[in-house]
């Protein structure tokens, strides 16, 4: 079995990495981020030309988050995956717990040391704790590792979603308000898609070829649609305000560069598979989650602050994600 432009794949679905494989992974990441940026520019231009309007953005986001991303997650997790592969890669769940404990402690310390004002300190933490696994992580990992990339992300998301819709909502909530948690918040389309994919793997379900082709076709359109949306969001956001916030630059340097590089070296030092290390480093270095500004606006007073931070980190990730792979593995 082959993957990553011809690199051999082992029986558990992981790509056999050597120096050549690491270089290939870096080249694919760099190429993919350049492509993402160019498509993002197309989305930005579409916004400027009113082809995509501000009022249409919520409907476009709903289409992506409720249809395209769940289909991509389901198909990429289910297609070619066995239950043994799920068991072999369950370490991603443990990693996600360690990651969230670490990044929470680090962002808390940054907020205290920089004396970020009340409420904004929590939103700063919210921004840099939760990465954009949907709009950026899914397309990138599916391109890097077609066989297992989204399986890693799916297992990581089990903890990610639970933490976001509890601790994340609490961080977004202003101190003069009461945080509200709803069990329905956990039933996101991505979680449903993941549950269905794992159930199909366990039951060894096989779909007719026409269904497989349909799911694959929808999945292939997801990356471009995500980047078009983010480009339009960039067009309509007052992101320049975030440039005057010093904590933005510290957050980018620490969360999106330093921690992923250190984490990558630690994982390699303890002997974890290189493909797993690369996938986890990509997840660690992702920009701010797209839904964060909406949650911050609904629950507090820092929605514009979160929106600006989100857009700037998205632009920065075009450079930082390839840079992190270069520093961590090459």
Among 324, 325, 291, 327, CA closest to 310: 291
Query: Per residue in 81-132, pLDDT tens?
Result: 788 888 888 888 999 999 999 999 999 999 999 999 999 999 999 999 999 9
Q: Is residue 115 left, alpha or beta, with left meaning phi > 0 and alpha meaning psi from -120 to 50?
A: left
Rounded alpha-carbon distances, angstroms, from residue 141 to 60, 178, 210, 278: 22, 37, 25, 10
What the chain holds in terms of domains, given with CATH numbers, is: 2-329 (1.20.1530)
Q: What is the distance between the alpha carbons of residues 201 and 212, in angstroms, rounded to a whole number?
A: 14
Dig out the tokens for 31 from the structure: 């190429």
Query: Per residue in 27-48, pLDDT tens?
Result: 888 888 899 899 989 999 999 9
Is pLDDT above 50 for 204? Answer: yes
What's the mean pLDDT in 246-250?
96
Is pLDDT above 50 for 2? Answer: no
Q: What is the distance between the alpha carbons of residues 109 and 263, in angstroms, rounded to a whole number?
A: 18
Q: What is the distance between the alpha carbons of residues 34 and 83, in angstroms, rounded to a whole number?
A: 35
Residue 185's pLDDT is 67
Residue 283's pLDDT is 95
* Secondary structure percentages of the chain, helix, strand, coil, to 5: 75, 0, 20
Q: What is the distance between the alpha carbons of residues 263 and 283, in angstroms, rounded to a whole number?
A: 11
């Amino acid at each position: 079995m082959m993957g990553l432009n011809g690199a051999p794949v082992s029986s558990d679905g992981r790509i056999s990495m050597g120096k050549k494989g690491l270089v290939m992974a870096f080249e694919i990441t760099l190429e993919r981020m350049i492509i993402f940026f160019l498509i993002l520019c197309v989305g930005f231009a579409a916004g400027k030309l009113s082809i995509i309007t501000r009022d249409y953005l919520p409907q476009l986001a709903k289409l992506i988050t409720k249809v395209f991303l769940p289909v991509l997650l389901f198909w990429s997790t289910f297609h070619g995956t066995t239950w043994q592969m799920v068991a072999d890669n369950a370490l991603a769940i443990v990693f996600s717990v360690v990651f969230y404990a670490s990044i929470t402690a680090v962002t808390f310390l940054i907020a205290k040391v920089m004396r970020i004002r009340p409420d904004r300190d929590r939103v700063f933490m919210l921004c840099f704790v939760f990465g954009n696994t949907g709009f950026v992580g899914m397309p990138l990992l599916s391109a890097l590792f077609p066989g297992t990339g989204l399986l890693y992300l799916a297992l990581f998301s089990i903890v990610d979603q639970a933490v976001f819709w509890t601790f994340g909502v609490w961080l977004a909530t202003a101190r003069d308000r009461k945080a509200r948690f709803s069990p329905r918040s956990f039933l996101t389309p991505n979680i449903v898609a993941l549950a269905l994919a794992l159930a199909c793997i366990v039951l060894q379900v096989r779909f007719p070829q026409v269904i497989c082709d349909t799911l694959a076709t929808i999945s292939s359109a997801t990356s471009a649609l995500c980047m078009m949306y983010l480009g339009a969001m960039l067009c309509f956001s007052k992101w320049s305000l975030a440039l005057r916030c010093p904590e933005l630059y510290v957050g980018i340097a620490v969360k999106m560069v330093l921690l992923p590089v250190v984490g990558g070296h630690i994982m390699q030092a303890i002997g974890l598979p290189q493909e797993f290390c690369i996938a986890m480093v990509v997840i660690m270095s992702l920009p701010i989650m797209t839904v964060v500004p909406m949650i911050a606006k609904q629950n507090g007073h820092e929605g514009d602050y979160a929106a600006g931070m989100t857009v700037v980190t998205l632009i920065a990730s075009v450079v930082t994600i390839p840079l992190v792979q270069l520093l961590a593995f090459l």
